[in-house]
Chains A and B, each alone.
Chain A
Amino acid sequence: ETGVTQTPRHLVMGMTNKKSLKCEQHLGHNAMYWYKQSAKKPLELMFVYSLEERVENNSVPSRFSPECPNSSHLFLHLHTLQPEDSALYLCASSQDRLYGYTFGSGTRLTVV
């Protein structure tokens, strides 16, 4: 365990489903991130929360909706996804967006 826990590890969902990914850290970090990793591509930053406020949204489609209720928890709500959204979704946390990037194990999402 890295200190960043993601659930579920695997998720298969239909295009009409609504599901949520969860990320939890108890490292005392004040920034949390959602990344998307598609096959053979660099990681793509989706969202950044710093001190529980969203500071970046890198042109992510609205079918992805993040939520950061407190500094330890981050959610990614999913609805009406497309098959091309199938990927590994990684959560990370860091201190002040500078130090100690720690990643979760990821959620392998398959949209059918």
Chain B
Amino acid sequence: KNEVEQSPQNLTAQEGEFITINCSYSVGISALHWLQQHPGGGIVSLFMLSSGKKKHGRLIATINIQEKHSSLHITASHPRDSAVYICAVMDSNYQLIWGAGTKLIIKP
């Protein structure tokens, strides 16, 4: 079992839908990252959080430390949001442990 599990693995939705991607982890962490990878490979860091909630535009990330769970939400989804979303946790040794990613496709 991976230490960082993401769900779903694949998600297809219609433009405008509210999207939720989940990340569960089994280790103690100092921080959790959400990243976006577009076709072609480049990875962009979206959020780094260690508690509570962060918002940037249409993206919202939440974390529940007690439950070892984080969610990434996208409001009013758009085809340009289509990408792979990756959750990564930084453990107590400052090692990043990566989830396998969630492939999101938003259809017009």
Residues in A lying within 8 Å of B, measured CB to CB:
2, 37, 40-43, 45, 88, 90, 92, 97-106, 108
Q: Cβ of A42 and Cβ of B94 under 8 Å apart?
A: no
B interface SS class: strand
A90 interface neighbour in B31, B43, B45, B100, Cβ under 8 Å: B43
Q: Cβ of B45 and Cβ of A102 under 8 Å apart?
A: yes
- In the assembled complex, which residues on chain B have CB atoms less than 8 Å from the CB atom of A88? 41
B41 interface neighbour in A45, A90, A92, A98, Cβ under 8 Å: A90
Q: How far is the CB of A48 from chain B (nearest CB, A)?
A: 9
Q: How far is the CB of A60 from chain B (nearest CB, A)?
A: 15
| Sample of 18 further A-B pairs with CB below 8 A, known A97-B94, A98-B31 | A37-B41, A41-B100, A42-B4, A42-B98, A43-B86, A43-B98, A45-B96, A90-B43, A92-B43, A99-B48, A101-B35, A101-B48, A102-B45, A103-B44, A103-B45, A105-B40, A105-B42, A106-B41
Report the contact-size class of chain B (Cβ under 8 Å from the partner). 20 to 34
* Interface presence of B92 (CB below 8 A): no
Q: Cβ of A42 and Cβ of B43 under 8 Å apart?
A: no
Q: Cβ of A40 and Cβ of B100 under 8 Å apart?
A: yes
